[in-house]
Amino acid sequence: MNLETIRSGSVAVLMGGTSAERDISLQSGATVLRGLEAAGFSAFKVDPASKGWMAELGRATFAFNALHGPGGEDGSMQGALQLLGIPYSGSGILGSALAMDKVRSKRVWQGAGLPTAGFVLLDADTNWQQVIDQLGVVFVKPACEGSSIGMSKAADARSLEQAYVTASAYAGAVMAEQFVDGPEFTVAMLGHRVLPSIRLETSNEFYDYAAKYESDETRYHCPSGLSAAEEAAIAELARAAFAALDCAVWGRVDLMRDDQGAFQLLEVNTIPGMTSHSLVPMAAQAVGIGIAELVTQIMQYSLAGATVWPAEATHFADGKATVADQGSADACHLGGSQ
C-alpha cells in the first residue's frame, strides 16, 4: 500500500475514546482531520466510545490513531487494527505498550544504560518517610496515564501519601519519581528524523495539565537555547530512548536537565497531542512542516515502518553521549505498517 492507494480510499481518524485524556484526543483528532482534508485525503471521524464504531472503522483504507492514553496508546488498539488488517499510524504493539508504562520504560532505559531519575513503586503499605529519605522531593504519578493526569509533587511523608491517593484513583501502578531541579525539554521524532528540541517554561508548580492545554502563559522556546553540541547530545539521547522502547514513525521524548547539566529521561509519548498548544506540530513548524504535510509524512512513514534506530550504538554517562560500533537492529520490530 502507498499514499495514492490511501488517497483513493478513506482515512479513519480515531479520536475520543474512553480514557481520562478523551477531551485532548478529540482536539487532536480534529486537527488531524483538518490536516488530512487539506492534504487532499478523504477522512472521517471514528470514536471508540460511540456505538457501532467498529463498523465505521471497517470502511477505512487506513487508520490515523489520535487516541491518547489507555485503550488507544497502549498497544490494544494497535493489536485490534493489526488483526483487522487495517494499516495504522505510529508505533506498533510492543513500542506502544512499553512507552505507555512509565515504570517499564524506565526499567528498559536503566538496562540500556540511559539516564533517568530514580523511582519507586508505591502502594497502600508503603513506608512514606522511607521513600522521602531515599529520593527526597518526588513527583507521584499513575504509571499508565499521560498529560500529567493524576500527578502531584510531594516533599514530605504526609504529602506523599496524599499524592498516592490522588494517583491511585487511576488504573495501574503508581510511582514516585525523584524530582529533577532544572529546565524541561521535549524532543519530537518524525520518521528517521529528530526535530529541534523545545524548552518549556511555566509559572505553575510544574508542567501540569493546565500548563499543557489551558494556559496561554506557558512559554515554549524553539530553538531551545542549547549549544550545537548540547542539541546534538539531547537529540541522540532522545533517539536512543525512543529506539530502546521499540517505538517508530513519530512521537515525543520528554526530558529534564539536572543541576549538573545532564539530561534525564522522563517518558515517551507515542501519540503526542496535536492541539493548538501541542509540541510536535510546533517542532515540525520550526523546520517548515505544516499540519497537512505533518500528517501526510506520518502516514508515509507508517506505511514504510520507519524507525529511528541510531546509525551507531550510543552509550551515555552522566547524560553525555559517546559512540561505539553497532550490529544489526532488532529483527523482531513491530511497526505500525504491519
- pLDDT value of position 335: 36
Whether 3-91 shares its CATH topology with 118-178 is answered: no
- pLDDT value of position 321: 45
| Low pLDDT (below 70) residues in the chain | 146-147, 203-216, 306-338
* pTM for the whole structure: 0.86
Catalytic positions, written as ranges: 21, 147, 213, 252, 254, 267, 269, 273
- pLDDT value of position 326: 33
Query: What are the tens digits of pLDDT across the range 172-211?
Result: 899 999 999 999 999 999 999 999 999 998 765 655 555 5
Cell of 80: 485490534
- pLDDT value of position 306: 64
Amino acid identity of residue 333, one-letter, is H
Q: Is domain 3-91 given the CATH code 3.40.50.12500 in the classification? A: no
- pLDDT value of position 328: 31
| Cis peptide upstream of residue 223 (ω within 30 degrees of 0) | yes
Chosen CATH of 118-178 out of 3.40.50.300, 3.30.1540.20, 3.30.750.24, 3.30.1490.20: 3.30.1490.20
- Asked if 90 contacts 304 with a C-beta cutoff of 8 angstroms, the reply is no
Place of cell 522531593: 137
Query: What are the tens digits of pLDDT across the range 268-292?
Result: 999 999 987 899 999 999 999 999 9
Amino acid identity of residue 276, one-letter, is S
Of 60, 335, 20, nearest in space to 191 by CA: 335
DSSP-assigned letter for residue 330: P
234: Cβ–Cβ under 8 A, 6 or more apart, which residues? 185, 187, 197, 226, 255, 263
CA distance 32 to 64: 8
Q: What angle do CA 203, 204, 208 make, to 5 degrees?
A: 135
77: Cβ–Cβ under 8 A, 6 or more apart, which residues? 14, 48, 65, 67, 71, 88
Q: Is domain 106-110+181-324 given the CATH code 3.40.718.10 in the classification? A: no
Cell of 110: 536503566
CA distance 213 to 229: 31
Ranges of each domain in the chain: 3-91, 106-110+181-324, 118-178
- Asked if 91 contacts 100 with a C-beta cutoff of 8 angstroms, the reply is no
Beta-strand pair 11-14/62-65: parallel
| Cis peptide upstream of residue 272 (ω within 30 degrees of 0) | no
